[in-house]
Protein backbone atom coordinates (compact mmCIF):
# COMPACT_ATOMS: atom_id res chain seq x y z
CA UNK A 1 0.00 0.00 0.00
CA UNK A 2 1.27 3.47 -0.88
CA UNK A 3 2.07 5.99 1.83
CA UNK A 4 -0.92 8.04 3.00
CA UNK A 5 -1.37 11.37 1.28
CA UNK A 6 -0.29 14.43 3.24
CA UNK A 7 0.27 18.08 2.56
CA UNK A 8 -1.37 21.12 1.04
CA UNK A 9 -4.05 20.14 -1.45
CA UNK A 10 -4.81 23.38 -3.27
CA UNK A 11 -8.41 23.99 -4.33
CA UNK A 12 -8.72 25.35 -7.86
CA UNK A 13 -11.07 28.24 -8.58
CA UNK A 14 -13.64 28.19 -11.37
CA UNK A 15 -13.50 31.02 -13.88
CA UNK A 16 -15.52 31.66 -17.02
CA UNK A 17 -15.19 32.95 -20.55
CA UNK A 18 -17.07 36.00 -21.80
CA UNK A 19 -19.75 33.61 -23.08
CA UNK A 20 -20.16 32.10 -19.58
CA UNK A 21 -18.45 28.82 -20.36
CA UNK A 22 -16.11 27.26 -17.80
CA UNK A 23 -12.61 28.44 -18.66
CA UNK A 24 -10.87 25.10 -19.10
CA UNK A 25 -7.54 26.76 -19.91
CA UNK A 26 -7.59 28.35 -16.46
CA UNK A 27 -8.17 24.93 -14.88
CA UNK A 28 -5.15 23.57 -16.76
CA UNK A 29 -3.00 26.51 -15.65
CA UNK A 30 -4.06 26.32 -12.00
CA UNK A 31 -3.44 22.58 -11.92
CA UNK A 32 0.07 23.17 -13.28
CA UNK A 33 0.70 25.85 -10.63
CA UNK A 34 -0.50 23.71 -7.73
CA UNK A 35 1.20 20.51 -8.92
CA UNK A 36 4.46 22.46 -9.21
CA UNK A 37 4.34 23.98 -5.74
CA UNK A 38 2.12 21.94 -3.39
CA UNK A 39 1.21 18.34 -2.62
CA UNK A 40 -2.26 17.81 -4.11
CA UNK A 41 -5.11 19.30 -6.16
CA UNK A 42 -8.85 19.53 -5.42
CA UNK A 43 -11.66 20.68 -7.78
CA UNK A 44 -14.52 21.55 -7.61
CA UNK A 45 -15.55 22.03 -3.99
CA UNK A 46 -16.86 24.98 -1.96
CA UNK A 47 -14.00 27.37 -2.80
CA UNK A 48 -14.51 26.38 -6.46
CA UNK A 49 -18.20 27.39 -6.16
CA UNK A 50 -19.21 23.94 -7.36
CA UNK A 51 -22.85 24.80 -6.68
CA UNK A 52 -22.82 27.18 -9.67
CA UNK A 53 -21.83 24.37 -12.05
CA UNK A 54 -24.04 21.80 -13.69
CA UNK A 55 -22.86 18.21 -13.67
CA UNK A 56 -21.85 18.26 -17.35
CA UNK A 57 -19.56 21.23 -16.69
CA UNK A 58 -17.96 19.46 -13.76
CA UNK A 59 -17.41 16.29 -15.76
CA UNK A 60 -15.90 18.31 -18.62
CA UNK A 61 -13.54 20.05 -16.20
CA UNK A 62 -12.03 16.86 -14.78
CA UNK A 63 -9.89 16.07 -17.86
CA UNK A 64 -8.59 19.66 -17.92
CA UNK A 65 -7.33 19.32 -14.35
CA UNK A 66 -5.76 15.96 -15.18
CA UNK A 67 -4.04 17.52 -18.19
CA UNK A 68 -2.57 20.36 -16.13
CA UNK A 69 -1.49 18.05 -13.34
CA UNK A 70 0.32 15.55 -15.57
CA UNK A 71 0.29 12.95 -12.81
CA UNK A 72 2.58 14.87 -10.46
CA UNK A 73 0.35 15.02 -7.38
CA UNK A 74 -2.96 13.41 -6.32
CA UNK A 75 -6.01 15.00 -7.94
CA UNK A 76 -9.12 14.77 -5.73
CA UNK A 77 -12.28 15.41 -7.74
CA UNK A 78 -15.28 17.03 -6.05
CA UNK A 79 -18.49 15.06 -6.53
CA UNK A 80 -20.81 16.54 -3.89
CA UNK A 81 -24.45 16.44 -4.94
CA UNK A 82 -27.84 16.65 -3.23
CA UNK A 83 -28.70 13.32 -4.85
CA UNK A 84 -27.01 9.94 -4.75
CA UNK A 85 -27.52 9.43 -8.48
CA UNK A 86 -25.80 12.74 -9.26
CA UNK A 87 -22.84 12.07 -6.97
CA UNK A 88 -22.35 8.56 -8.36
CA UNK A 89 -22.35 9.79 -11.97
CA UNK A 90 -19.80 12.47 -11.13
CA UNK A 91 -17.58 9.89 -9.42
CA UNK A 92 -17.73 7.73 -12.54
CA UNK A 93 -16.78 10.73 -14.69
CA UNK A 94 -13.87 11.54 -12.36
CA UNK A 95 -12.56 7.98 -12.54
CA UNK A 96 -12.87 7.94 -16.32
CA UNK A 97 -10.96 11.23 -16.57
CA UNK A 98 -8.06 9.94 -14.48
CA UNK A 99 -8.67 11.50 -11.06
CA UNK A 100 -6.89 9.84 -8.15
CA UNK A 101 -9.69 10.18 -5.59
CA UNK A 102 -13.03 11.87 -5.02
CA UNK A 103 -14.34 14.09 -2.24
CA UNK A 104 -17.98 14.56 -1.27
CA UNK A 105 -20.15 16.00 1.43
CA UNK A 106 -23.18 14.09 2.61
CA UNK A 107 -26.43 15.15 0.88
CA UNK A 108 -26.72 18.82 1.81
CA UNK A 109 -30.27 19.90 0.99
CA UNK A 110 -32.03 17.40 3.24
CA UNK A 111 -30.58 15.31 6.05
CA UNK A 112 -30.09 11.67 5.11
CA UNK A 113 -30.90 8.76 7.39
CA UNK A 114 -28.04 6.41 8.37
CA UNK A 115 -29.18 3.91 5.73
CA UNK A 116 -29.36 6.63 3.09
CA UNK A 117 -25.92 7.91 4.05
CA UNK A 118 -24.41 4.47 3.58
CA UNK A 119 -26.16 4.07 0.24
CA UNK A 120 -24.97 7.51 -0.87
CA UNK A 121 -21.28 6.96 -0.14
CA UNK A 122 -21.36 3.35 -1.35
CA UNK A 123 -22.61 4.60 -4.72
CA UNK A 124 -19.76 7.10 -4.87
CA UNK A 125 -17.24 4.42 -3.88
CA UNK A 126 -18.50 2.15 -6.67
CA UNK A 127 -16.44 4.24 -9.10
CA UNK A 128 -13.37 2.53 -7.60
CA UNK A 129 -11.48 5.56 -6.29
CA UNK A 130 -10.49 6.39 -2.71
CA UNK A 131 -13.09 8.63 -1.08
CA UNK A 132 -12.63 11.72 1.07
CA UNK A 133 -15.60 12.72 3.18
CA UNK A 134 -15.90 16.49 3.44
CA UNK A 135 -17.50 17.17 6.80
CA UNK A 136 -18.64 20.78 6.57
CA UNK A 137 -21.39 22.87 8.10
CA UNK A 138 -22.78 23.83 4.70
CA UNK A 139 -26.12 25.60 4.17
CA UNK A 140 -28.56 24.29 6.78
CA UNK A 141 -26.03 21.88 8.29
CA UNK A 142 -27.91 18.88 6.93
CA UNK A 143 -24.64 17.39 5.68
CA UNK A 144 -22.71 17.78 8.94
CA UNK A 145 -21.81 14.35 10.31
CA UNK A 146 -21.14 13.34 13.91
CA UNK A 147 -18.08 11.22 14.79
CA UNK A 148 -20.33 8.15 15.09
CA UNK A 149 -21.56 8.69 11.52
CA UNK A 150 -18.01 9.01 10.23
CA UNK A 151 -16.87 5.89 12.06
CA UNK A 152 -19.75 3.81 10.73
CA UNK A 153 -19.26 4.98 7.14
CA UNK A 154 -15.51 4.30 7.20
CA UNK A 155 -16.05 0.84 8.68
CA UNK A 156 -18.77 -0.10 6.20
CA UNK A 157 -17.18 1.31 3.03
CA UNK A 158 -13.47 0.48 2.63
CA UNK A 159 -12.95 3.08 -0.11
CA UNK A 160 -13.60 5.84 2.44
CA UNK A 161 -10.01 6.53 3.44
CA UNK A 162 -9.69 10.26 4.14
CA UNK A 163 -11.56 13.06 5.85
CA UNK A 164 -11.65 16.81 5.42
CA UNK A 165 -12.89 17.84 8.86
CA UNK A 166 -14.16 21.41 9.13
CA UNK A 167 -17.21 21.29 11.36
CA UNK A 168 -16.31 23.65 12.93
CA UNK A 169 -13.11 25.12 11.51
CA UNK A 170 -10.91 25.03 14.61
CA UNK A 171 -7.62 23.21 15.29
CA UNK A 172 -9.25 21.45 18.26
CA UNK A 173 -11.66 19.85 15.78
CA UNK A 174 -8.77 17.77 14.41
CA UNK A 175 -7.91 16.49 17.89
CA UNK A 176 -11.57 15.77 18.61
CA UNK A 177 -12.10 13.61 15.55
CA UNK A 178 -8.80 11.75 15.96
CA UNK A 179 -9.72 10.95 19.55
CA UNK A 180 -13.29 9.87 18.80
CA UNK A 181 -12.57 8.07 15.53
CA UNK A 182 -9.01 6.76 16.03
CA UNK A 183 -7.05 4.77 13.45
CA UNK A 184 -9.88 4.81 10.92
CA UNK A 185 -8.84 7.34 8.27
CA UNK A 186 -5.52 7.34 6.46
CA UNK A 187 -5.46 11.11 6.88
CA UNK A 188 -7.56 13.91 8.32
CA UNK A 189 -7.20 17.26 6.55
CA UNK A 190 -8.27 20.67 7.83
CA UNK A 191 -10.04 23.55 6.12
CA UNK A 192 -10.52 27.22 6.88
CA UNK A 193 -8.01 28.44 4.31
CA UNK A 194 -5.02 26.96 6.13
CA UNK A 195 -5.10 29.53 8.93
CA UNK A 196 -4.42 26.89 11.61
CA UNK A 197 -2.02 24.73 9.58
CA UNK A 198 0.82 24.34 12.10
CA UNK A 199 -1.53 23.78 15.04
CA UNK A 200 -3.45 21.17 13.03
CA UNK A 201 -0.26 19.33 12.04
CA UNK A 202 0.90 19.31 15.66
CA UNK A 203 -2.41 17.66 16.56
CA UNK A 204 -1.93 14.87 14.03
CA UNK A 205 -3.60 16.39 10.97
CA UNK A 206 -2.44 15.27 7.54
CA UNK A 207 -2.54 18.70 5.94
CA UNK A 208 -5.00 21.27 4.70
CA UNK A 209 -7.14 22.07 1.67
CA UNK A 210 -7.14 25.84 1.07
CA UNK A 211 -8.05 27.80 -2.05
CA UNK A 212 -4.97 27.70 -4.23
CA UNK A 213 -3.87 31.32 -4.69
CA UNK A 214 -1.13 30.91 -2.05
CA UNK A 215 -0.60 27.16 -2.50
CA UNK A 216 3.12 27.62 -3.04
CA UNK A 217 3.58 29.46 0.27
CA UNK A 218 1.54 26.93 2.23
CA UNK A 219 3.19 24.07 0.35
CA UNK A 220 6.61 25.32 1.36
CA UNK A 221 5.54 25.70 5.00
CA UNK A 222 4.34 22.09 4.95
CA UNK A 223 7.60 20.85 3.39
CA UNK A 224 9.59 22.63 6.09
CA UNK A 225 7.39 21.11 8.79
CA UNK A 226 7.82 17.60 7.38
CA UNK A 227 11.56 18.12 7.32
CA UNK A 228 11.61 18.98 11.01
CA UNK A 229 12.18 22.71 10.49
CA UNK A 230 9.19 23.62 12.65
CA UNK A 231 10.28 27.15 13.56
CA UNK A 232 10.92 28.05 9.93
CA UNK A 233 7.63 26.44 8.92
CA UNK A 234 5.87 28.63 11.43
CA UNK A 235 7.63 31.74 10.10
CA UNK A 236 6.49 31.00 6.55
CA UNK A 237 2.98 30.20 7.77
CA UNK A 238 2.75 33.50 9.64
CA UNK A 239 3.62 35.29 6.40
CA UNK A 240 0.97 33.28 4.54
CA UNK A 241 -1.65 34.55 6.96
CA UNK A 242 -1.46 37.92 5.19
CA UNK A 243 -2.85 36.11 2.16
CA UNK A 244 -5.47 34.32 4.26
CA UNK A 245 -6.69 37.66 5.62
CA UNK A 246 -6.96 39.03 2.10
CA UNK A 247 -9.10 36.07 1.01
CA UNK A 248 -11.28 36.43 4.10
CA UNK A 249 -11.94 40.06 3.18
CA UNK A 250 -12.55 39.67 -0.56
CA UNK A 251 -13.57 36.04 -1.05
CA UNK A 252 -13.11 34.15 -4.28
CA UNK A 253 -13.25 37.37 -6.29
CA UNK A 254 -10.12 38.46 -4.44
CA UNK A 255 -8.52 35.04 -4.79
CA UNK A 256 -9.02 35.17 -8.56
CA UNK A 257 -7.40 38.63 -8.67
CA UNK A 258 -4.38 37.18 -6.85
CA UNK A 259 -4.03 34.35 -9.34
CA UNK A 260 -4.37 36.68 -12.32
CA UNK A 261 -1.72 39.04 -10.90
CA UNK A 262 0.53 36.02 -10.43
CA UNK A 263 0.14 34.95 -14.06
CA UNK A 264 -1.89 31.82 -13.35
CA UNK A 265 -5.37 32.90 -14.50
CA UNK A 266 -6.39 34.47 -17.78
CA UNK A 267 -9.84 35.33 -16.50
CA UNK A 268 -11.30 36.51 -13.20
CA UNK A 269 -14.87 36.26 -14.46
CA UNK A 270 -17.22 34.45 -12.09
CA UNK A 271 -20.92 33.73 -12.03
CA UNK A 272 -23.18 36.14 -10.13
CA UNK A 273 -20.27 38.21 -8.77
CA UNK A 274 -20.37 42.01 -8.67
CA UNK A 275 -17.05 43.31 -10.05
CA UNK A 276 -17.28 46.57 -8.11
CA UNK A 277 -16.86 44.56 -4.88
CA UNK A 278 -13.15 44.58 -5.73
CA UNK A 279 -12.48 48.32 -5.59
CA UNK A 280 -9.40 50.54 -5.76
CA UNK A 281 -8.69 50.11 -2.06
CA UNK A 282 -8.78 46.33 -2.45
CA UNK A 283 -6.39 46.56 -5.39
CA UNK A 284 -3.98 48.66 -3.34
CA UNK A 285 -4.16 46.17 -0.49
CA UNK A 286 -3.37 43.34 -2.90
CA UNK A 287 -0.32 45.28 -4.11
CA UNK A 288 0.89 45.48 -0.52
CA UNK A 289 0.21 41.81 0.22
CA UNK A 290 2.05 40.67 -2.92
CA UNK A 291 5.01 42.87 -2.04
CA UNK A 292 5.09 41.49 1.50
CA UNK A 293 4.87 37.87 0.31
CA UNK A 294 7.33 38.29 -2.59
CA UNK A 295 10.19 36.47 -0.78
CA UNK A 296 7.96 33.42 -0.32
CA UNK A 297 6.42 33.07 -3.79
CA UNK A 298 7.59 30.22 -6.01
CA UNK A 299 5.74 30.94 -9.26
CA UNK A 300 6.60 30.96 -12.11
CA UNK A 301 10.15 29.70 -11.49
CA UNK A 302 9.20 27.44 -8.54
CA UNK A 303 12.16 28.52 -6.42
CA UNK A 304 12.07 30.72 -3.34
CA UNK A 305 13.06 34.30 -4.08
CA UNK A 306 14.80 36.69 -1.72
Q: Long-range contacts made by residues 116-123, C-beta under 8 angstroms, separation at least 24?
A: 116/84, 117/145, 117/149, 117/153, 118/152, 118/153, 118/156, 118/157, 119/84, 120/84, 120/87, 121/153, 121/157, 121/160, 122/156, 122/157, 123/84, 123/85, 123/87, 123/88, 123/91
Asked whether residue 2 is domain-assigned, the answer is no
Q: Are 11 and 259 in contact (CB under 8 A)?
A: no
**For position 140, which CATH number holds?**
3.20.20.70
Q: How confident is the model over 131-155, as pLDDT tens digits?
A: 999 999 998 889 999 999 999 999 9
Is residue 11 domain-resident?
yes
Residue range of the domain that includes 125: 7-296
Identify each DSSP E strand in 205-275 by its residue range: 207-208
Q: Would residue 304 count as lying in a domain?
A: no
Handedness of CA 67, 70, 71, 77 (dihedral sign): negative
Number of domains in the chain: 1
Please list, in sequence order, all residues whose beta carbon lies within 8 angstroms of the beta carbon of residue 92, skipping any fewer than 6 positions away: 127
77 pLDDT above the threshold of 80: yes
275 located within any domain: yes
Segment 55-75 shows an average pLDDT of 98
Contact predicate 81/50, CB 8 Å = no
Q: Is residue 136 part of a domain?
A: yes
Per residue in 2-38, pLDDT (tens digit) is 899 999 999 999 999 999 999 999 999 999 999 999 9
Report yes or no on 53 lying in a domain: yes
Amino acid sequence: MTQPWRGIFGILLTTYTDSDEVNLDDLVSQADFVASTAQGIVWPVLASEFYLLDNDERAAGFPAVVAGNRGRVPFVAGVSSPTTRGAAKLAEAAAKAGADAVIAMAPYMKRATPTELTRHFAAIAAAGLPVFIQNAAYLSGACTLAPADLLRLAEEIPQIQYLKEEAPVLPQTISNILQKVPNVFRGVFGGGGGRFLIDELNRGGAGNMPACEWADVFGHAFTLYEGGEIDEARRVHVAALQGVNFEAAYGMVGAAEVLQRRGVLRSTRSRYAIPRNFDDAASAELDAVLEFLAPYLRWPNHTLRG
